[in-house]
Amino acid sequence: MSNEKNLSIQSLARQNVRELTPYQSARRLGGNGDVWLNANEYPIAPQFELTAQTFNRYPECQPALVIERYAAYAGLENDQVLVSRGADEGIELLIRAFCEPGKDAILYCPPTYGMYSVSAETIGVEGRTVQAKEDWSLDLPAIEAALEGVKLVYVCSPNNPTGNLIDPAELRAVLEMTRGRAIVAIDEAYIEFCPQASVTGWLKEYPHLAILRTLSKAFALAGLRCGFTLANSELIALLMKVIAPYPLSTPVADIAAQALSDEGLAIMRARVAEIGETRAWLKQQLTRCDCVEQVFTSETNYVLARFTASSQVFKTLWDQGIILRDQNKQPGLSGCLRITVGTHEECRRVIAALQPLPGAGQTAASPDKNTAPSKEPM
């Protein structure tokens, strides 16, 4: 009975943790690139100065000014807003508040963001998938058929990594079929790039709707770790029960409040406009590259494209210090790479690196290809 000695740390761990594959974050993937276009970050660091100095005191759990400003920005009441350590923490809080480990399930529709499954696995909750259709619309009958035991449905719109918005009629259909049964979390991490598509106005109609937001993308503050969950006050109160007592440090709350000031919002909107222009240029240039088969429509700060030999393309750019995100392993995304819209100069370098690469059946780039047809299926 004395096998304690042989008890490895591995075998002490929870089974679901032993089996876990950690999220492949951009930084973990390494590489020694100088053009980082793999994590949908903004390429230039915004400048802030700390105003708060009370570091001897614990911070507020839900810093009042941050909540007030985000509520005003989103057009909601203060009690409809929860601030957390990134939207990623919001994803996890929802599972912890609503899903019984070993019993309940979450549902999501690949290809999509990787943290829904990682959080579910970590907590010991089943991650059920219903693959999106070929045009990336939701497979509504399949979702309805898979709802048994599901407490939480994640829908990402605009979707990462595909870049498309989910049709509002489909979002409504999911909200109707889950009424009284499950929470629907709409991940709006990129909504600042298409603000008219936000579903915040639907909160009046759906008590089981939660919306995830972040300062990491359009606000250019991925390093701050600050995100939001928007929902009716009853749902927010439940999340408040499971959140850590001090989820945001004092400097984070200080900078978040500044980013959400009138001036901060104006800067964010100007940044969104600039990224939109660079994205249009990047898309147009990509369609002219021989090695590019398809460029997908994007409402975000990244572009997904399908390449004739994506592993080779990825490696070629990697060797030149340009780091993209390989989406080749996601269901339905064979040959696809995701490119963050960086500075104009960074995008120019991507195109310069892609231009010499051959297309299917070619051995070298053909010289005249300015009559490339539009490669957008949607």
Ligand X SMILES: *Cc1c(COP(=O)(O)O)cnc(C)c1O
Based on the shown chain and the rule CB under 6 A, indicate whether residue 350 belongs to the binding site for ligand X: no
Which residue lies nearer to ligand X by CB, 200 or 214? 214
Beta carbon of residue 215, minimum distance to ligand X (angstroms, whole number): 7
Beta strands 35-36; 322-323: pairing state: parallel
- Write out the binding residues for ligand X, residues 5-44 only, by CB under 6 A: 40
Whether 340 contacts 40, CB under 8 Å:
yes
Return the bridge partners of 292, or none.
307
List the one residue from 35, 76, 88, 183 that touches ligand X (CB under 6 A). Answer: 88
Interface size with ligand X, residues (CB under 6 A): 13
**Taking contact as CB under 6 A, which single stretch among the options 17-25, 84-92, 97-105, 196-204 is the one that binds ligand X?**
84-92
Q: How far apart are the first and last CA of the chain?
A: 64
The string of DSSP codes covering 248-317 is S-HHHHHHHHHHTSHHHHHHHHHHHHHHHHHHHHHHHHHHT-TTEEEE---SSSEEEEEETTHHHHHHHH
**Taking contact as CB under 6 A, which single stretch among the options 63-71, 81-89, 230-238, 317-325 is the one that binds ligand X?**
81-89
Based on the shown chain and the rule CB under 6 A, indicate whether residue 267 belongs to the binding site for ligand X: no
User: Judging by beta carbons within 10 Å of its beta carbon (0-12, 13-18, 19+), is residue 8 exposed, middle or buried?
Assistant: exposed
Beta carbon of residue 248, minimum distance to ligand X (angstroms, whole number): 12
Closest CA to 39 of 296, 259, 323, 274: 323
Beta strands 150-156; 105-108: pairing state: parallel
Which residue lies nearer to ligand X by CB, 149 or 251? 251
**Taking contact as CB under 6 A, which single stretch among the options 23-31, 54-62, 82-90, 351-359 is the one that binds ligand X?**
82-90
Beta carbon of residue 217, minimum distance to ligand X (angstroms, whole number): 6
List the one residue from 80, 160, 285, 308 that touches ligand X (CB under 6 A). Answer: 160
Based on the shown chain and the rule CB under 6 A, indicate whether residue 92 belongs to the binding site for ligand X: no
Beta carbon of residue 98, minimum distance to ligand X (angstroms, whole number): 18
Which residue lies nearer to ligand X by CB, 292 or 323? 323
List the one residue from 108, 113, 219, 307 that touches ligand X (CB under 6 A). Answer: 113
List the one residue from 86, 111, 247, 342 that touches ligand X (CB under 6 A). Answer: 86
By three-state DSSP, how is residue 165 classified? coil
Q: Which residue has the tokens 């051995």?
A: 363
The string of DSSP codes covering 101-152 is TTT-EEEE-SSS-THHHHHHHHHT-EEEE----TTS---HHHHHHT-TTEEE
Beta carbon of residue 287, minimum distance to ligand X (angstroms, whole number): 24
For residues 202 to 241, the per-residue mask of contacts with ligand X, x marking binding by CB under 6 A and - elsewhere, is: ------------x-x-----x----x--------------
By three-state DSSP, how is residue 337 classified? strand
Based on the shown chain and the rule CB under 6 A, indicate whether residue 275 belongs to the binding site for ligand X: no
Residues comprising the chain, all counted:
378
Instruction: Please state, in angstroms and rounded to a whole number, the distance separating the CA atoms of residues 213 and 284.
Output: 29
Residue 231 has which token pair? 């929902």
- Write out the binding residues for ligand X, residues 173-202 only, by CB under 6 A: 187, 189
By three-state DSSP, how is residue 123 classified? helix
Chain contacts with ligand X (rule: CB under 6 A): 40, 86-88, 113, 156, 160, 187, 189, 214, 216, 222, 227
